[in-house]
Structure formats: structure tokens, C-alpha cells
Amino acid sequence: MKKVNSKLLLAFCFQQMEKLEDGKINVETAREQSNLVKQANNLLKYELDRAKVLMDLTVHNETYNKELELRNIESED
């Protein structure tokens, strides 16, 4: 599996727009690929939000001498 980041997603989007303009792909294909990029972007946003919560939780635990943890709902790969 390829690694993905925001920069690569943006580059892919621009490549698809160029292909659409050049007639190499049709509107339906471009729309389907756009939906997949949107889903991938949502996952990246989820990771950023989760990292922020973990950082905030660390500060909270240090401030109030607590041991609160964020439950891991994902399977381990």
C-alpha cells in the first residue's frame, strides 16, 4: 500500500482535473475518484483531530493528576 499525505492527495486531484480537461477520463470517473479522495481526506482529518485530543488529554492528566485515556476503537495492524 502506498503512503498518503495531504500533498499527494492534492497532486492527485490536480492530475485528475488535467485528465478530465484532456478528455482522458470522463466526468463520472472524475466524480468517483473525487469521492474517494474526500474519504481519504476525512481519514487524515480524523488522525489530526485524534492527535490533538491525545495532546489535550496529556495536559489535562498532568494538570489534574488523572489517568484518563482515550479508548482505542481501531484494530491493530
What is the value of pTM for the model shown?
Answer: 0.73
Q: Which residues contact 9 (CB under 8 A, 6 or more apart)?
A: 37, 40, 41, 44
The pLDDT, as a whole number, for residue 72 is: 86
How many helical (H) and strand (E) elements, i.e. helices and strands, does the chain have? 2, 0
Q: Kindly list the domain boundaries of the chain, sorted by start residue.
A: 6-64
Q: What is the pLDDT of residues 9-67, one digit of tens each?
A: 899 999 999 999 999 999 999 999 999 989 988 988 999 999 999 999 999 999 999 99
